[in-house]
């Protein structure tokens, strides 16, 4: 059974939070996100907006489509006074990936990552509100292997150049003729040349393919304040 002093402290904390919520609502202030008080004891600690979690990517990401993201916390996050572990090493953070950047040759695309849930080793879970994934230098989105499809584009350029050149030869290098069959040939060659240019334009717009490999380092950026209890104060029911 929980000591009376602990129950009184927790009750006072809950009451203070409720009173604070009413005051903040009247002042238009957005309170920090808070974990479930029923799953922990003691005082929660404020993790400030702008804090980051160092994590390692657990699954490969393919830039051709959005997909699930799973990262593993590699360094624990401590309270502001550095006395308590708030988020331990081994915590799993879940999110979703999507492409960002403009299409076209030479455009280095990135994969944007947004995180929505955090699960600690003891099963303690926290919902996150659109926390961002950054690379190691703090830039938005992730970038690893980039395939710009240069061989496909240049190969198509050469092949279509041959077709276009054949069309010019068929037209007699621009000479004027009144022969009916030659006029038909010229029209067909011009149509083929135009189609070749259209196809080449499409090849030039092939976007780069981005792959983020397992083991890539990702920083989870806190987009708002978060109230969390110390890891040792979790009261997760044991299941058998």
Q: pLDDT tens-digit profile of 184-222?
A: 455 445 554 555 556 556 555 566 778 889 999 999 999
- Cβ neighbours of residue 120 closer than 8 Å, sequence gap 6 or more: 87, 88, 90, 91, 126, 231, 234
In whole angstroms, give the CA distance from residue 141 to residue 17: 35
Residues 223-234, mean pLDDT to the nearest whole number? 93
pLDDT band at 6 (very low <50, low <70, confident <90, very high): very low
Give the per-residue pLDDT at 194: 58
Residues 49-68, mean pLDDT to the nearest whole number? 89
Does residue 164 carry a pLDDT above 70? no
Q: How far is CA 31 from CA 15, 160, 226, in A?
A: 15, 61, 9
User: pLDDT averaged over the chain?
Assistant: 73
Cβ neighbours of 100 (radius 10 Å): 15
Does residue 168 carry a pLDDT above 90? no
Residues 110-135, mean pLDDT to the nearest whole number? 93
Residues 128-155, mean pLDDT to the nearest whole number? 78
Give the per-residue pLDDT at 153: 52
In this prediction the pTM is 0.63
189 backbone φψ class: left, alpha, beta (φ>0; ψ -120 to 50): alpha
In whole angstroms, give the CA distance from residue 218 to residue 57: 7
Does residue 224 carry a pLDDT above 70? yes
Give the per-residue pLDDT at 99: 72
């Amino acid at each position: 059974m929980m000591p009376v002093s602990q129950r009184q402290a927790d009750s006072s904390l809950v009451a203070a939070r409720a009173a604070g919520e009413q005051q903040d609502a009247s002042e238009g202030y957005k309170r920090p996100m808070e974990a479930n008080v029923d799953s922990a004891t003691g005082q929660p600690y404020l993790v400030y907006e702008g804090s980051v979690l160092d994590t390692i990517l657990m699954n490969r990401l393919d830039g051709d489509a959005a997909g699930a993201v799973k990262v593993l916390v590699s360094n624990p996050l401590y309270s502001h006074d550095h006395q308590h572990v708030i988020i331990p090493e081994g915590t799993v953070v879940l999110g979703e990936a999507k492409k960002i950047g403009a299409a076209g040759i030479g455009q280095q695309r990135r994969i944007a990552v947004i995180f929505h849930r955090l699960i600690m080793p003891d099963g303690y879970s926290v919902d996150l509100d659109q926390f961002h994934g950054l690379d190691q230098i703090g830039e938005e989105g992730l970038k690893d292997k980039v395939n710009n499809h240069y061989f496909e584009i240049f190969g198509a350029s050469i092949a279509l150049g041959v077709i276009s050149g054949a069309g010019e030869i068929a037209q007699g290098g621009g000479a004027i003729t009144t022969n009916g069959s030659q006029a038909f040939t010229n029209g067909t060659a011009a149509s083929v040349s135009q189609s070749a240019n259209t196809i080449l334009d499409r090849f030039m717009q092939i976007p780069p393919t981005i792959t983020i490999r397992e083991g890539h380092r990702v920083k989870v950026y806190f987009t708002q304040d978060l109230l969390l209890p110390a890891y040792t104060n979790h009261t997760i029911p044991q299941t058998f």
